[in-house]
A and B are shown apart, each in its own frame.
Chain A
């Protein structure tokens, strides 16, 4: 696998997010290529790499959230911080819930161990997505159509917060599932490095959600 500037290390694993071209980003997020170009010109979306400028799954998740927030009335100029946090959660749900959203490659026994750990705890998906367990919120919401959005673990958290006339809410779990399903290929590939087992003896497997 060729190293790129979008690779990152987690617990010794070399992780690479899938990259998506503008047409694919449209399919995944609903943002037309023209709107993507506008956001890029305004500096509200990274330019990506190469031509036609693919962007990573992490950025796609961020843009997905920001686009939905924009539809809810929060301009992209005000959504960067909260979307960065929400994007981690969207990816977390996608990795955990959808078969094949994560691929792993390496020596057979290490791949088997990785899949076993992935299936039996949230720990690996939590590490890979960058989310912290106490921030695995499902909803992003606000009341009244104005002001900041807030995270909530469940609907009880929302309804206990206040009475309301108008509630706007994003379901981050469904967004993660949608992203992973629509992508049609792994959002993230994890490589388990090994100095002792030659690459010719490695295997690549999809992780079941």
Chain B
């Protein structure tokens, strides 16, 4: 079950969306993927809901209220 989604940008690709099941797996992705900028969201938790705005200038997180 997906616990986190990790949006990352690399030198070669604008945005990659990686689904992981644990912090250990997220740590592994972070170490391996050589990203420039990344945003990880806990999609399985009970915290506030966030949306993802993806544009040419990057990834921006917005709260449910802003959406």
Contacts and interface: CB of A to CB of B under 8 A. Distances in A.
Interface in A161-205: 163-171, 173-175, 177-178, 181
Contacts of A181: 11
A164 B48 CA distance: 11
Interface centre among B37, B38, B39, B41 (most CB of A within 10 A): B37
A132 interface: no
Interface residues of A, number: 25
| Secondary structure type dominating chain B contacts | strand
A174 B10 contact: yes
| Secondary structure type dominating chain A contacts | mixed
B37 A71 contact: yes
B60 A166 contact: no
A165 B50 contact: yes
Interface string B47-60: 11010000001111
A29 B59 CA distance: 16
A169 B30 contact: yes
B10 to A, nearest CB: 7
Interface in B16-65: 23, 26-27, 30-31, 34-42, 45, 47-48, 50, 57-61
B36 A170 contact: yes
Contact of B42 (A68, A145, A165, A173): A165
Given A169-B37, A177-B11, 12 more contacts: A68-B37, A156-B27, A159-B27, A164-B40, A165-B45, A165-B48, A165-B50, A166-B39, A168-B39, A174-B35, A175-B36, A177-B34
Closest 3 A/B residue pairs (Cβ):
A165-B47, A71-B58, A155-B27
